[in-house]
Structure 1
Amino acid sequence: MALVALGPNLFEDTSTGYIYVKSPVDWTLIDVLAYITVAFLIFAFLYKGVNQRRALRFPQIQMVIPYAEWERRLVSQKPPLGAGRTLAALIRTIFVDALAMEILKCEYGRAPAEVVKTRIAKRAAKLMIIWGFIFAAISTTLAFLMFPHNMIALNLDSPPRLFGMIGGVLMVAGASIWLAVRYREAQYRGIWDILGADFLPIMVLLLGVSGFLLQAAIYVWAYNQLSVAATAFLWTAIHLHAIVVALFFWALFWTNGEHIVYRIFWRAYEYVDRENAGRNTRLPPTDLKPVNRTGKEIQPGY
């Protein structure tokens, strides 16, 4: 790979023809923040999911059986799950249910009529969001492997750029559809009610929009590096996107979005339990509506 300088912080790779601009933020800092975020997510999961036993606390069960009684009378009577069965159930849950959106079958409104009206739109929205994240992850991985350190390719036909744009479009479209459907069916009582019920799609929408804004700012700054306005636009976009990303991951386990993580374990546990117990499973019926004591934490739609 031979980089030829075209201008301040602007280079061309003569072997591929890609035009690179030096990243305004050092990738080492990004890597450090990523490691800290992963460590925090692990801590949050251990603290809330394991320590508070939310990873195996079915919301349906809490509705009908006090958790302590459920644990004493039901879990203690079950045969051991087994490492093989558990691993197979997790693989099936993640790579089959999640990617096909079978794991989040909650497209139910507050009345039976709403199921007919909104479930197709919600299923499409959730598929877009999930696959948007997958494409974004592929884009980030390819950029790390293909681009020189601290360099960002400006070519729209580069694989990382293509995957990133597709992922961003899917995330923005999915979150927009989701919020539009939810706004019509849910009777929100104010801004805090909206944020509490739909934190996840709101943050996904902001992630996509701020990501596109950042890419636009990089393009503008790459060819106008001496412009004060271009520099201000760039740093505003960088900080906006960084704040949104931080809020999404760092606040996830303290919002109703955390149940998406737990649902993976609930579904895997359900597979193993039904395999062990067959028709005598002690799990409640899956069509039992999951709500907390106030009826708000796990609202219809997630």
Structure 2
Amino acid sequence: MAEVVSCPPYTCVKSPVEWGAIDALAVITVLWVIITFLYKGVKAHNVMRYPQTHMMIPYAMWEKKLLAEKPAMGAGRVVAAFFKTLFIDVLAMGILKCEHGRSEREVVTTRTAKRAAKLLMVWGFVFAGISTALAYLMFPHDMIVLDLYHPARIFGMLGGVFMIIGALMWLSVRYKEVKYGEMRWWDLIGADYLPIMILLLGISGFALQAAILAWAYGWPGAEAFLILAIHFHAVSVAAFFWLFFWTKADHIVYRIFWRIYDYADKELAGPNTRLPPTTLKPLNKTGKEIQPGY
């Protein structure tokens, strides 16, 4: 049984994992994410490869024949586009308004459900981030506040609930759209990776908090439960970040860059645009000349 101590105005218990170890793992994870982003995103040109460009024009040809003579976007235009993308497309999920079915005229009937699910997951991460920051700043060193009315606890619980509900909604939509069943199973490294991992993050987070409370107050079997919960949450968090750019979930990061690129480019109208028209017919990779003006 852990020793519960007073840390006015709250009640605390010593953290079962030293903060130094958590900080070290966090630094390693951030470095890994940066390295994989540079390797998978920048080196492979995925960051600035607009989706329709990827499908229609070989990247080397696009860069050589289309971008070489175009004017620079400018830092101010790019910064403005970043904030527009952040608040409209990410936090408000406005990007889903661009979603179509097999053609632009086909309305996606699940768009509302998808938007609600993604809003819940995005804001779940926002609240979880706020919770982590508050805990780091407000908890005594190497201690965990047990009181559920602490701001870090409140934001953490809200974030966890949002993530779980959003992930379940998304998986429900996917199940109906893709018609899983019989011999067809979930695409664990594809479209289903992200909601499954978010679901595991939410569940493992609540399991860890329950285990800490049980351990702090000496419930039977609490120590074994705590060890299991720590590893469950640690593996879920590690898998989410360490595998992110090796799955199709990486399109989230790239799409943010694509939208910034799109917004910034809209001010460069006419022949100065850096993006191809949506009606551009696919080209083969034999080096066929691209028509002027594109």
**TM-score, normalised via structure 1 length:** 0.85
Partner of 2:286: none
Partner of 2:167: 175
Q: 2:112 aligned with 1:127, yes or no?
A: no
Report if the CA contact (8 A) 1:93-1:264 is conserved.
yes
Q: In the comparison of the two structures, how many residue pairs are matched?
A: 278
1:45-103 Cα offsets, whole Å, 9 max, x none, are 11111111110011221222222222222211321121222222122212332111123
1:203-227 Cα offsets, whole Å, 9 max, x none, are 00110011111111111111117x4
- What are structure 1's unaligned runs of at least 5 residues? 1-6, 289-302
- What are structure 2's unaligned runs of at least 5 residues? 281-294
1:245-267 Cα offsets, whole Å, 9 max, x none, are 00000000000000100111111
Partner of 1:237: 229
Shift in Å at residue 32 of structure 1?
0.5
Q: 2:23 aligned with 1:31, yes or no?
A: yes
* Secondary structure at the counterpart of residue 190 of structure 1: coil
Shift in Å at residue 192 of structure 1?
5.7
Q: 2:150 aligned with 1:158, yes or no?
A: yes
Aligned pairs for 1:124-273 within 5 A? 124-188=116-180, 190-191=184-185, 193-224=187-218, 227=220, 229-273=221-265
Shift in Å at residue 115 of structure 1?
4.0
1:162-181 Cα offsets, whole Å, 9 max, x none, are 00000000000000000001
Supply the distance in 2 between the matched residues of 1:81 and 1:111 (Cα, whole angstroms).
31
Report if the CA contact (8 A) 2:189-2:247 is conserved.
no
The sequence identity of aligned pairs, in percent, is 60
Shift in Å at residue 116 of structure 1?
4.4
Shift in Å at residue 107 of structure 1?
4.8
Supply the distance in 2 between the matched residues of 1:287 and 1:170 (Cα, whole angstroms).
39
Supply the distance in 2 between the matched residues of 1:240 and 1:246 (Cα, whole angstroms).
10
Amino acid of the structure 2 residue aligned with 1:129: M
Shift in Å at residue 194 of structure 1?
4.6
Report if the CA contact (8 A) 1:109-1:185 is conserved.
no
Report if the CA contact (8 A) 1:172-1:208 is conserved.
yes
Q: 2:122 aligned with 1:94, yes or no?
A: no
Structure 1 window deviating more from structure 2 (84-93 vs 97-106): it is: 97-106
**TM-score, normalised via structure 2 length:** 0.87
CA 1:158/1:277 → structure 2, altered by over 3 Å: closer, same or farther? same
Partner of 2:285: none
Report if the CA contact (8 A) 1:274-1:281 is conserved.
yes
35, 40, 43: which one aligns with 1:48? 40
Moved over 6 A (4+): 111-114
Amino acid of the structure 1 residue aligned with 2:148: L
Supply the distance in 2 between the matched residues of 1:204 and 1:260 (Cα, whole angstroms).
14
* Secondary structure at the counterpart of residue 216 of structure 1: helix
CA RMSD of aligned residues (A): 2.3
